[in-house]
Amino acid sequence: MTVDRQAIEVLQPVITCARGVLADMESDDVPLALRKVARSSARKLPPPFAKSLLKEMTSNESFRSDVLKRYEGGDRVDDDLLAYLTDPAVGIGAIEVRANASRDAGQDAALESARERMADLDDQLAESKRRFSELRAQHDSEIAKARSSVSEGQRRAEARIQSLNRTVAEARAEEQDLTEQIRVLMEELDAVKSRLAGATDRLRRREATALPASRSRIDETTSDPLELARWLDDVEHRIRPFREANPVGHESRVPGLLAIGPGISPDSAGALQTLIAQNPRRFLLDGYNIGGEIDAANFSTRPGRDDVVLKVGVLARATDAEVVVVFDGPDDEGRSGFRSPDGVTVRFSKGRKADDVIADLVAANPDRVVVVTNDRDLRRRCAVDGCVQIWSTAFLGWL
């Protein structure tokens, strides 16, 4: 698998995440092939370093998995880049298509620029011919006047004729120069057309020789995150048919349960807004998961928890439902929980994980419950009839 400069440009967000993963590693844990890359302080990696980084991600599944987790936690997730990080052998097809599109766009721009330059030169040539015609008419007129003069007048006319001849010679030279420029531009235009035809032919060959399985997988996916989530849930159901789950965004099997409307992504503010309008019974929020999205460096501190509780209070004031936020570990003051002034029930998992506490609360009574977390495993555990799962990013977007 090879990547050129255009493919590297498309993969820049992945390269940036990979550099962040390297920066977080201990120096001894950095793969040997990437130690020079890790020491690079360049704002943008040179192509050889970028290729080394992409090659390591292709061969080192553990390193690629760390990059995938970091990329999924970012603000913007590109489906083609996500597919590449999931399976480079499959995802590279979409990357190459985008790189070729970028390359073709550059060639189209060069072709358009050449055409505009040729049009300008045509205008200049027309203006030069017009000036030449005027000068020739003026020259002929002056010659006629000079020939009718005698003595001193004739000598002045001859001097004028010489000056006009020089002007005409300069005009002819300018015309020849413009004609040569047009010839050169025509050659450049032909070269650009040839390169464009070659690029188009290469693209057709790539598409014709692409693996049928890869084409099928790419065509069956979609750029819509909600549709992609549905597709992944369908794959998981086929692999584990014994799982009884109600995937987010699908029609519930039990009438009257909460549901996100078709076309609304579970990571969007609209998902939370439409659920609030359905008057749920309870909201269960993954406290540290939300805190990590707000401030990854301080999410587990007391100020970080207080900030989460304050923001969740906005949700409590906007609904009549019970609003519960669960944090991992014990409270600084030894409390098992408390109720905030805004009506938020705060719970601490103490010796357990917050995920287990939330999953148990859902299992005890899933009816009209909304779980808010970016943790896919927790969402999977809570995927039962009566409970709807949305992302922490949906809550923060709604704020």
pLDDT in tens, 229-258: 546 655 554 554 433 334 444 444 445 689
Low-confidence winner among 76-90, 281-295, 307-321, 370-384 (lowest mean pLDDT): 76-90
Tell me the average pLDDT across 20-43. Answer: 88
| Residue 51 CB contacts under 8 Å (≥ 6 apart), including other chains | 3, 8
**Is the confidence at residue 9, as pLDDT, over 80?**
yes
pLDDT of residue 113: 83
pLDDT of residue 182: 84
How many angstroms separate the Cα of 355 from the Cα of each of 250, 342, 364, 380, 392? 23, 24, 14, 11, 14
Query: What is the band of 210 on the pLDDT scale with cuts at 50, 70, 90?
Result: very low
- Strand positions, DSSP E, 205-356: 282-286, 322-327, 337-339, 345-348
pLDDT of residue 268: 94
Tell me the average pLDDT across 40-53. Answer: 89
Give the distance, in angstroms, between the CA of residue 378 and the centroid of all CA atoms in the same chain: 27
Residue owning tokens 């849930």: 233
pLDDT of residue 364: 96
pLDDT in tens, 260-301: 988 899 999 999 999 999 999 999 999 999 999 999 898 889
Look up residue 32 and give its DSSP letter.
Answer: G
More confident residue, 342 or 332: 342
pLDDT of residue 228: 63
Per-chain mean pLDDT for the chain: 83
Query: How many angstroms separate the CA atoms of 348 and 316, rounded?
Result: 18
Low-confidence winner among 54-68, 109-123, 218-232, 364-378 (lowest mean pLDDT): 218-232
How many angstroms separate the Cα of 14 from the Cα of each of 117, 128, 295, 318? 39, 55, 22, 38
CA angle 371, 374, 378 (to 5 degrees): 60
pLDDT in tens, 66-108: 998 888 888 888 888 888 888 888 888 888 888 888 777 776 7
pTM above 0.95, yes or no: no
Residue owning tokens 């009816």: 367
Highest mean pLDDT among 2-11, 94-103, 356-365: 356-365
Q: Check if the beta carbon of residue 178 is closer than 8 Å to that of residue 124.
A: yes
pLDDT in tens, 48-58: 988 888 988 88
**Is the confidence at residue 390, as pLDDT, over 90?**
yes
At position 122, the amino acid (one-letter code) is D
pLDDT of residue 214: 38
Domain layout of the chain by residue ranges: 5-86, 94-212, 225-398
pLDDT of residue 29: 87
Query: How many angstroms separate the CA atoms of 345 and 338, rounded?
Result: 6
Low-confidence winner among 26-35, 347-356, 366-375 (lowest mean pLDDT): 26-35
Query: How many angstroms separate the CA atoms of 245 and 274, rounded?
Result: 21
Query: How many angstroms separate the CA atoms of 68 and 306, rounded?
Result: 30
Q: Which residues on neighbouring strands pair with residue 390, listed in sequence order?
A: 372
- Two tokens, residue 389: 């799962």
Low-confidence winner among 61-75, 95-109, 129-143, 206-220 (lowest mean pLDDT): 206-220
CA angle 355, 319, 367 (to 5 degrees): 50
| Residue 253 CB contacts under 8 Å (≥ 6 apart), including other chains | 246, 385
**Which CATH number is 225-398 given?**
3.40.50
How many angstroms separate the Cα of 147 from the Cα of each of 75, 107, 139, 143, 159? 85, 58, 12, 6, 12
pLDDT of residue 270: 95
Query: How many angstroms separate the CA atoms of 370 and 173, rounded?
Result: 82
- Strand positions, DSSP E, 224-313: 282-286
pLDDT in tens, 169-197: 998 898 988 888 988 888 888 887 877 77
pLDDT of residue 345: 96
